[in-house]
């Protein structure tokens, strides 16, 4: 058993813009985070992943960086950041920074140089190609819509941007780019950061881009083969590991869209010396039509979720390591997405938490998830701020002539702004997030869903998360135990066992709002470890489950896995 601190940790993600505003300008900031660290201590997490706080023109809320070694004015100063790290370390909380190096902002000085002339020393820091006549070099599409190529008049060439046109992709083939990135990473590591979450890191190598790389007409799979998980990514990560990561006791998690378990093992197997874990997206794609954009909604099938999460548990059982998450700043709120935020808010939020936190891997909690924050419905598109949402709306309404009423339902379900409304601290005006006008409006349900109220109520979602986090510290089986799915065909229950050196847990989750039953077989429960309803030991093998009920039993040693 390869024990590591990052396997035993629970991570909390902070999206700084929306966390807490200390100076009344309507934007969350670093001083705001410092003032809330005791809250995080109370919750019990021991690692924070901080979304970007670097200098940025904010085309994509900080994921477009114009200076990797400076702090964005909106968020404060480098002194504030130093104090944040210090205050976190004093409380035993580690800090993982976001590393966004697939692309920079077009306002980064490297890009300003690069676009200035074809023979500028920085020209080759980015990916420039001549067009095909009046057309872009290839038919690649950017994640936020439109061509992935932007024409630049000055030198009569196109540059590649897999995200917005203000996020040009770096050319990782250029050794000088890699060395500059490594040097920047050392800058932060030498300041004492405890790791990196690496933004779309499996996209840093692109296949040699030729006109024949037209991809979409050949289908999505073909396009992906040019853009994701190319062998070069592994070469770069091994080099990065050797030159930088291996020199520090840190954790690394790579954001890897389109990654399969087989690929994930390549990134995370210890002997390959690349990363500790990846964020995979397969379970996040189960409520859309396969191969279609995220806006094309489909009801989640429990069977698909069971198969998928179990596949990841099993395939990474002996090699590699899983990250466990339901939400982040790009995903809708879990309780609205997979639970019932109206009739069974507490029950479904805690059931989902149980299901995830009892699995093998490192759990991630996204700010507000621990109090059951929900999706937002703004009546007007004017109130949305996210570039992906706004581009989608524009494309559908202005270019494709669709009616707003036909577009908004998917935005309500999937917009990234669902996760970005301000953290709800109290029932005070603006949810206690700011004394000014928030950069994005607060969710009106803050009167009922907020931290102050959650802390007071011993039965709240918050206190349930706190307990789940403590359990992970108390029971090694939760961290390192073997996973086995039970009753794969049960239509409404997701159940599994965990086992380590004879210590066994059974996790039983009713995924829906109707009552159901579950057969324990000949297992004997010895103790209720946690449950979101008042529960005692079962009187018979067949247990009745109430809406969204979750129970974890420790099993008697004589029960078999
Ligand atoms: C993934 C990040 O999580 C997302 O917020 C961002 O828009 C893209 N990468 C581009 O950096």
Point out which residues pair with 531 in neighbouring strands: 551
CB 419 within 8 A of CB 327: yes
Q: Quick check: CB of 201 below 6 Å from ligand 1?
A: no
Question: What are the backbone angles phi and psi of residue 129, rounded to the nearest 5°?
Answer: -145, 150
Q: By percentage, how much of the chain surpasses pLDDT 90?
A: 92
Q: Which residue has the tokens 């770069």?
A: 236
Contact assessment for residue 268 and residue 274, using Cβ atoms and an 8 Å cutoff: yes
Strand partners, 157: 152
Rounded CA separation 547/360 (Å) = 25
Q: What Å distances lie between residue 361 and 4, 420, 444, 480, 542, CA to CA?
A: 11, 26, 34, 8, 30
Residue 120 within any structural domain of the chain? yes
**Residues 461, 505 within the same domain:** no
Of the residues 418, 442, 468, the one at which a domain ends:
468
Please, are residues 12 and 465 in contact by the beta-carbon 8 Å criterion? Answer: no
Please indicate, yes or no, whether residues 463 and 482 belong to a single structural domain of this protein: no
The domain tally of the chain equals: 3
Q: Given this model, what pLDDT does residue 291 score?
A: 82
Query: pLDDT value at position 373?
Result: 99
CA–centroid distance, 287 to ligand 1, in Å, is: 20
Residues 366 and 462 grouped into a single domain: yes
Indicate the SS3 state at residue 269: coil
User: What pLDDT shows up at residue 365?
Assistant: 99
In this structure, of 16-20, 385-389, 536-540, the range with the lowest mean pLDDT score is 536-540
So what's the pLDDT on residue 560? 54
Q: Which pLDDT value is given to residue 207?
A: 80
Report the chain's terminal Cα–Cα distance, integer Å: 19
Q: Whose CA is nearest to atom 5 of ligand 1?
A: 330
- Tell whether 256 is covered by a domain: yes
**For a pLDDT cut of 70, what percent of the chain falls above it?**
98
Residue 346 falls inside a structural domain:
yes
- pLDDT recorded at residue 217: 65
Is residue 387 within 8 A of residue 164, CB to CB? The reply is: yes
Residue 345 lies in a domain: yes
Q: Is the CB of 15 under 6 A from ligand 1?
A: no
* C-alpha count within 13 angstroms, C-beta hemisphere, residue 279: 23
Question: How far apart are the CA of 63 and the centre of ligand 1, in A?
Answer: 6
pLDDT digits (tens, 9 = 90+) for 364-396: 999 999 999 999 999 999 999 999 999 999 999
Query: Are both 392 and 284 inside the same structural domain?
Result: yes
Q: How confident is the model at residue 1 (pLDDT cuts 50, 70, 90)?
A: confident
Confidence (pLDDT) at 214: 77
The CATH number of whichever domain residue 140 belongs to comes to 3.90.400.10
Q: Which domain holds residue 484?
A: 478-555
Q: Which of 441, 385, 381, 383 is nearest to 406 (CA)?
A: 381
* b/e per residue 365-400 (b: at least 16 CB within 10 A): bbbbbbbbbbbbbbeebeebbbbbbbbbbeebeeee
pLDDT at res. 350:
99
Decide if pLDDT at 101 tops 80. Answer: yes
256 Cβ closer than 6 Å to some ligand 1 atom: no
pLDDT in tens, 19-68: 999 999 999 999 999 999 999 999 999 999 999 999 999 999 999 999 99
Is the confidence at residue 306, as pLDDT, over 70? Answer: yes
Q: Do residue 415 and residue 271 come from a single domain?
A: yes
Does ligand 1 come within 6 angstroms of the Cβ of 330?
Answer: yes
CB 371 within 8 A of CB 466: no
CB 184 within 8 A of CB 69: yes
Within this chain, do residues 417 and 527 fall inside the same structural domain, yes or no?
no
Task: Quote the DSSP letter at residue 425.
Answer: -
Over residues 218-258, the pLDDT tens digits come to 667 777 888 999 999 999 999 999 999 999 999 999 999 99
Ligand 1 center to residue 204 CA distance, Å?
A: 13
With tokens 């703004």, the residue in question is: 378
Q: Would 399 be classed as within a structural domain?
A: yes
**pLDDT beyond 90 at 430:** yes
Parallel/antiparallel/unpaired status of strands 47-50 and 251-255: unpaired
- Specify whether the CB–CB gap between 35 and 22 falls below 8 A: yes
pLDDT grade, residue 559 (50/70/90)? low
Cα(135)–Cα(158) distance, rounded to whole angstroms? 10
Are 393 and 307 members of one domain? yes
Residues 502-529, mean pLDDT to the nearest whole number: 97
Identify the domain boundary among 450, 468, 486. 468
213: in domain: no
DSSP secondary structure string for all residues of 467-485: HHHHHHHH-HHHHH-EEEE
β-pair type (550-555, 525-531): antiparallel
**Confidence at residue 292, expressed as pLDDT on a 0 to 100 scale:** 87
Pair (337, 483) in one structural domain: no
Whether 496 has a pLDDT exceeding 70, the answer reads: yes
169 lines ligand 1 (CB under 6 A): no
Give me the pLDDT at residue 558, please: 65
Same-domain check for residues 398 and 452: yes
* CA-wise closest residue to 164 among 323, 14, 388: 388
417 and 441 Cβ atoms separated by less than 8 Å: no
Question: What is the number of the ligand 1 atom nearest to the C-alpha of 330?
Answer: 5
For residue 213, pLDDT over 90 is answered with no
Contact status, residue 66 vs residue 128, Cβ threshold 8 Å = no
Contact between 351 and 392 under an 8 Å Cβ cutoff? The reply is: no
Q: Which residues are catalytic?
A: 199, 255
* Apex 8 CA angle, 13 and 187, nearest 5: 55
Please indicate whether residue 163, judged by its CB atom, sits closer than 6 Å to ligand 1: yes
The confidence score (pLDDT) of residue 219 equals 67
165 lies in a domain? no
We report the CATH number of the domain holding residue 491 as: 2.60.40.1180
In this structure, the residue with its CA closest to atom 8 of ligand 1 is: 63
Q: Exposed e or buried b for every residue in 446-470, given b needs 16+ CB within 10 A?
A: beebbbebbbeeeebbbbbbbbbbe
Per-residue pLDDT, 218: 67
Please check whether residues 373 and 451 belong to one and the same domain.
yes
Average pLDDT over residues 510-523: 96
CATH at residue 43: 3.20.20.80
Q: Note whether 377 and 438 are same-domain residues.
A: yes
- Do residue 152 and residue 64 come from a single domain? no
Is 407 within the bounds of a domain?
Answer: yes
Give the number of other CB atoms < 10 A from CB of residue 483: 21
Distance CA(77)–CA(55), nearest Å, equals 10
How sure is the predictor about 90, in pLDDT bands with cuts at 50, 70 and 90? Answer: very high
Q: Average pLDDT for residues 433-446, to the nearest whole number?
A: 98
The residue written with tokens 């109206």 in the block is: 342
Q: Establish how many alpha carbons lie within 13 A of residue 61's alpha carbon, considering only the half-sphere containing its beta carbon.
A: 21
């Amino acid at each position: 058993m390869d024990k590591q601190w990052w396997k035993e940790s629970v991570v909390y993600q902070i999206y700084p813009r929306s966390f807490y505003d200390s100076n009344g300008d309507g934007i969350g900031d670093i001083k705001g985070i410092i003032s809330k660290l005791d809250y995080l201590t109370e919750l019990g997490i021991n690692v924070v992943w901080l979304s970007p706080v670097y200098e940025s023109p904010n085309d994509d809320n900080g994921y477009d960086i114009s200076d990797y070694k400076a702090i964005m004015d909106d968020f404060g100063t480098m002194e504030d950041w130093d104090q944040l790290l210090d205050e976190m370390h004093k409380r035993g909380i580690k800090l993982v920074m976001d590393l966004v190096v697939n692309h920079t902002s077009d306002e980064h000085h490297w890009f300003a140089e690069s676009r200035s002339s074809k023979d500028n020393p920085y020209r080759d820091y980015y990916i420039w190609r001549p067009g095909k006549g009046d057309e872009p070099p290839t038919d690649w599409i950017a994640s936020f819509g439109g061509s992935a190529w932007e024409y630049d008049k000055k030198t009569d060439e196109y540059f590649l941007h897999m995200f917005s046109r203000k996020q040009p992709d770096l050319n990782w083939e250029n050794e000088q780019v890699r060395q500059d990135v490594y040097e920047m990473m050392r800058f932060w590591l030498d300041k004492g950061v405890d790791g990196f979450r690496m933004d779309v890191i499996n996209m840093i190598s692109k296949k040699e881009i030729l006109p024949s790389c037209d991809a979409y007409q050949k289908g999505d799979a073909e396009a992906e083969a040019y853009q994701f998980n190319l062998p070069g990514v592994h070469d770069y990560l091994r080099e990065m590991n050797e030159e930088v990561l291996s020199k520090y006791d840190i954790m690394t998690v790579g954001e890897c869209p389109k990654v399969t378990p087989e690929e994930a093992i390549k990134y995370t197997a210890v002997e390959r010396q690349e990363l500790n874990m990846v964020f995979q997206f397969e379970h996040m794609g189960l409520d859309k039509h396969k191969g279609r954009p995220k806006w094309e909604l489909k009801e989640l099938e429990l069977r698909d979720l069971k198969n998928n999460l179990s596949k990841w548990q099993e395939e990474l059982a002996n090699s590699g390591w899983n990250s466990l998450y339901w939400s982040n700043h790009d995903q809708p709120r879990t309780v609205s997405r997979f639970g019932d935020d109206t009739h069974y808010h507490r029950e479904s939020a805690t059931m989902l938490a149980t299901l995830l936190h009892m699995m093998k891997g490192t759990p991630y909690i996204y700010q507000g998830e621990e109090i059951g924050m929900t999706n937002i419905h703004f009546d007007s598109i004017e109130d949305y701020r996210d570039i992906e949402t706004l581009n989608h709306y524009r494309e559908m309404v202005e270019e494709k002539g669709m009616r707003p009423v036909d577009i908004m339902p998917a935005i309500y379900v999937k917009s990234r702004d669902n996760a970005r409304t301000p953290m709800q601290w109290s029932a005070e005006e603006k949810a206690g997030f700011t004394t000014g006008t928030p950069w994005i409006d607060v969710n009106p349900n803050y009167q009922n869903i907020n931290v102050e109220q959650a802390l007071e109520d011993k039965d709240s979602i918050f206190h349930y998360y706190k307990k789940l986090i403590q359990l992970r510290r108390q029971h090694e089986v939760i961290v390192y135990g073997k996973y086995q799915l039970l009753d794969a065909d049960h239509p409404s229950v997701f159940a599994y066992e965990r086992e380590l050196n004879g210590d066994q847990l059974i996790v039983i989750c009713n995924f829906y709002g109707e009552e159901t039953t579950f057969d324990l077989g000949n297992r004997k429960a010895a103790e209720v470890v946690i449950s979101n309803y008042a529960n005692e030991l079962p009187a018979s093998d067949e247990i009745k489950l109430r809406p969204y009920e979750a129970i974890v039993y420790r099993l008697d040693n004589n029960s078999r896995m």
